[in-house]
């Protein structure tokens, strides 16, 4: 397969679960656009610009990863970018219901756009941004669960917050 996939999410911050999906996406698509959602706040720890910067740094050697942000409906953004495939990662059980609803709603909103799911890798399926932030706040070791540049930024951020 070739073409472009759009990988949307909050990425607060990006974890190795996300980077695994992006790297595997690049084996299927020429380009992956990582799209940081502006409208889902979820008590964010990092600003949108910081999140984008961390993803860009993690993929500095990979010109086929484009990092952007979007606001509003994902399908509208996909249409604007002329992308017809949304890429999502699927962790066991916890993601299924929400992802199933979203994928079908998005297809109802625009039948030209479909969602492709990659099953979470067994080495990263337990990871979520929320859990990583919690562990970092409590002083746990987060090496390997986030890219190295994110580990440094996250430790700085939680130290400044306490």
Q: How far is the CB of 120 from ligand ADP (least distance, A)?
A: 3
User: What is the distance between the alpha carbons of residues 86 and 75, in angstroms, rounded to a whole number?
Assistant: 9
Catalytic, 161? Answer: no
User: Between residue 121 and residue 160, which ones bind ligand ADP under the rule CB under 6 A?
Assistant: 124-125, 127-129
Q: What is the Cα 20 distance to its own chain's centre?
A: 10
- Cite the DSSP H helix spans in 59-145: 74-80, 96-109, 129-137
User: What is the distance between the alpha carbons of residues 81 and 95, in angstroms, rounded to a whole number?
Assistant: 26
Strands 114-119 and 85-90: parallel
* One of 5, 9, 29, 154 touching ligand ADP (CB under 6 A): 9
Nearer residue to ligand ADP within complex by CB, 88 or 153: 88
Q: Within a 10 A sphere around the Cβ of 60, how many other Cβ atoms?
A: 9
17 binds ligand ADP (CB under 6 A): yes
* One of 4, 5, 6, 18 touching ligand ADP (CB under 6 A): 18
User: Between residue 85 and residue 124, which ones bind ligand ADP under the rule CB under 6 A?
Assistant: 88-89, 91, 95, 120, 124
Nearer residue to ligand ADP within complex by CB, 47 or 159: 47
Catalytic, 143? Answer: no
- The token pair at 99 is 């992802």
161 contact partners, CB below 8 Å, separation of at least 6: 137
Interacting residues toward ligand ADP by CB under 6 A: 9-11, 15, 17-18, 21, 40, 88-89, 91, 95, 120, 124-125, 127-129
Catalytic residues: 18, 42, 91, 129
């Amino acid at each position: 397969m070739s073409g472009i996939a759009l990988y949307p999410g909050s990425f607060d911050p990006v974890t190795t679960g996300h980077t695994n999906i992006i790297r595997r996406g690049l084996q299927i698509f020429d380009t992956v656009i990582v799209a940081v959602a502006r409208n889902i706040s979820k008590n964010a720890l990092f600003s949108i610009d910081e999140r984008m910067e961390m993803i860009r740094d993690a993929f500095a050697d990979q010109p086929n990863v484009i990092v952007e942000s979007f606001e509003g409906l994902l399908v509208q953004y996909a249409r604007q970018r002329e992308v017809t495939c949304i890429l999502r990662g699927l962790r066991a059980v916890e993601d299924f219901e929400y992802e199933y609803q979203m994928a079908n709603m998005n297809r109802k909103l625009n039948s030209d756009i479909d969602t492709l799911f990659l099953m979470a890798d067994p080495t990263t399926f337990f990871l979520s941004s929320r859990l990583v932030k919690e562990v970092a706040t409590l002083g746990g070791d987060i090496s390997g669960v986030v890219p190295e540049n994110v580990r440094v930024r996250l430790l700085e951020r939680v130290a400044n917050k306490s």
